[in-house]
Amino acid sequence: MGILNLFLLFLYKSADGALPDISPTGAVEPFLPLLAPSPLTPFTNHTVPKLSGLCVLNFSSAESLMSITAIDCWSIFAPMLANVICCPQFEATLAILIGQSSKETNMLALNGTLSMHCISDIEQILAGQGAVENLRQMCSIRPTNLTEGSCPVKYVNEFENNVDTLKLLAACKKIDPVKECCDQICQDAISEAATKIAMQDYRLLSMDGSRVLPEHSTKVDDCKSIVLRWLASKLNPSNAKEVLRGLSNCNVNRVCPLAFPDMRHVAKGCKNEISNTTVCCGAMESYVAHLQKQSLITNLQALDCATTLGMKLQKSNITRNIFSLCHLSLKDFSLQVKQESGCLLPSLPSDATLDQFTGISFICDLNDNIPAPWPSTSQLAAASCNKTVKIPALPAAASGQNGLYNEDLIYYLLFSSSVVITMLL
């Protein structure tokens, strides 16, 4: 299985500000990396953030973590890496900052006023290091996400008096990011702890006093945030990051992040009595092309997307396996780096990396030609635990080149062989 580190090559805007015309054959000659302006300035020219001075969080306790977050959410990459890399890392950073600060404040949550100051300060710090400026909006993070929400427990000592912390820490201090998503050892411990502290609000108790009523699941969910912050306070920021990112990836890989447009033209061209395979597969190719413009996804997300699309087609009275008929692969659901070379991110947590001299890169698998499975009536709900489809969690090896970055340039994803792709990001 061949692996590639994608890298960026940047082309100048034309004199009138229009984007240069890129042909499918790559006729436009790209600038060579060595001819591009030095990337050192954009990577090192950090701006000084304008902080409120009112946030109680100890930013120095997670300084290196915030640098990683800024790279993961770099302004150019953030929209296409949001679902898999940027937003999970941003959310982990928020939990770790509150958790680490709780050692001094005894608080696992901020009040409404402080949360507004802190979320603004965090965003300012990250933007000053190169992160996208609208990070909160992109990741749907609100100041209330830093509070306790509806959870009745927010003090460290109160939390530790009501939770079996030894059991919780034993289950979650280190997780296997592959097995955890199916075995849910840490997740179950978190749910148990969250339910326990949610029950401190006695209105949640059912009549027999043993269970939380279903309508109060929101309160339990809010308490899970408290549990994660407590865990982050007991681990060093690096270990906490690995645990929180591993847990978030279980959720990431369960859900297809793509929006599926209307598929009437596919249903018309691929009705059960297919008289023209070319028409059917042409309609299918056109439809999938819309999906390919949305974002980079993981291989397990692609499996879920294939299942989702297949079920939608079946509901449109298409029972024939047109995935096989039209040779649809999992990588056809992600952003394309050239014709028939979809870029699938690994299903394990990963980060973008920065080299001060050559730029930012991320690992992407281009060569796994795994056929998109046509869903059956026994389709498993969680694709990540479906053992019938063999998908590597990580590429077998990483090779390639890093990227260049300059704010004055237009960028394109390239193969490491300097072949220009046809899609403008």
What HEC string does 155-217 produce? EHHHHHHHCCHHHHHHHHCCCCCCHHHHHCHHHHHHHHHHHHHHCCCHHHECCCCCCECHHHH
Between the CA of residue 236 and those of 18, 62, 172, what are the distances in Å?
48, 9, 13
Q: Cα separation of 169 and 71, whole Å?
A: 30
Between the CA of residue 182 and those of 108, 137, 174, 194, 381, what are the distances in Å?
28, 31, 16, 20, 12
Residue 92 has pLDDT above 60, yes or no: yes
pLDDT at 204: 53
Q: Which residue has the tokens 């390919």?
A: 292
Rg over CA atoms, the chain: 24
Phi/psi for 328 (5° steps) reads -85, 130
Confidence of residue 369 (pLDDT cuts 50, 70, 90): confident
Residue 406 has pLDDT above 70, yes or no: no
Q: What's the whole-number mean pLDDT along residues 395-405? A: 38
Tokens at 146, concatenated: 């830093």
CA dihedral sign of residues 298, 187, 87, 349? negative
Q: Cα separation of 206 and 42, whole Å?
A: 58
What's this model's pTM, rounded to 2 decimal places? Answer: 0.80
Q: Cα separation of 121 and 45, whole Å?
A: 19
Confidence of residue 319 (pLDDT cuts 50, 70, 90): confident
> What is the per-residue pLDDT across 171-205, written as a single tens digit (0 to 9) for each?
999 999 889 998 999 999 999 999 999 988 765 55
